Chain A
Amino acid sequence: MLLNQFLILAAAMFSLGIYGLLVRRNIVLILLSVELMLAAVNINLIAFESVLRSPEAIGQVFAIFVITVAAAEVGIGLAIVLMIFRNRKSANVDELDLMRW
Chain B
Amino acid sequence: MRITIKKLTVQYTEDDHSLLALDRVNLTLAPGRITALVGESGSGKTTLGKAIMGLLPDNAKVKGEIFLDQDNLLAFDEARMTPIRWAKAAMVFQNGAANLNPVHRLKHQVAEPLIQRGTPKKQALELAETRLKAMGLARELADRYPHELSGGQVQRGLLAMGLILDPPLLILDEPTAALDAVTKSFVADVIQQCRAQNKSILLITHDLDLAGALADDIAVLYLGQVMEHLPGRDLLEHPAHPYTLALARAFPTMDAVRDLGGIRGDAFYRMVHAHAADNGHTHVHTHVAAPDAFHQGGHAPPEGCLFQPRCTQAIPACSLGSVAMEITPEGDHRVRCLRGGIAQALHFEQVTKSYGKITALYPTDLTLMAGEVFCLVGETGSGKTTLAMIAAGAVSPDQGTRFFQGRDMDLWMKKDAAALASRIGIIYQNPAESVSHRLTVFEIVAEPLRIHNTVRDESALADRVKAALSDVHLSCAPEFLKRYPHELNMGAIQRVCLARALVHEPDLLVADEPTSALDPSVQAKVLKMLLTLQIEKGVTLLFVTHNIGLARKVADRIGVMSGGRIIETGPAARIINHPAHEYTRTLIRSAQGLIRPRAPVSSSV
- B is a partner of A: no
